[in-house]
Chain A
Amino acid sequence: MKTDIPGMRTSLGRVRGLGSARSGATHWWHERLTSVSTLILLVWFFVSLLRLPDFSYATVTQWLAAPLAAVPMLLLILSVFWHLAAGLRVVVEDYVHEEGGKLFWLVAINFASLFAAALSIFAVLRIAVGGAA
Chain B
Amino acid sequence: MHRNPARPMSPHLTIWKWGPHMAVSILHRVTGVGLGVLGGALFTWWLVALASGPEAYATFVGWATWKWMLIVWVGLTWAAFQHTLSGLRHFVLDIGAGYELRTNKFWSVVVLIAALALTMLVWAFIYLRNFA
A contact residues around B35 at 8 Å (CB): 84
Q: Which of B26-50 contact A (CB under 8 A)?
A: 29, 32-33, 35-37, 40-41, 43-44, 47-48, 50
Closest to B54 in A: A57
Q: CB within 8 Å of B: which of A32-80?
A: 32, 35, 39, 42, 55, 57, 60-61, 64, 77, 80
Q: Are A81 and B53 in contact (CB under 8 A)?
A: no
Starting from the known contacts A57-B57, A119-B44, 14 additional A-B residue pairs (CB-CB under 8 Å) come to A57-B58, A60-B50, A61-B50, A81-B40, A84-B32, A84-B36, A91-B33, A116-B44, A120-B44, A122-B51, A123-B48, A123-B50, A123-B52, A130-B51
User: Contact residue range for chain B?
Assistant: 20 to 34
Task: Mark out the residues of chain A between 75 and 131 whose CB falls within 8 Å of any chain B CB in the assembled complex.
Answer: 77, 80-81, 84, 87-88, 91, 113, 116, 119-120, 122-124, 126-127, 130
The number of A-B residue pairs with CB atoms under 8 Å apart is: 62
Query: Using Cβ atoms and an 8 Å threshold, which residues of chain A touch B29?
Result: 91
Residue contact B47 to A120, C-beta cutoff 8 Å? yes
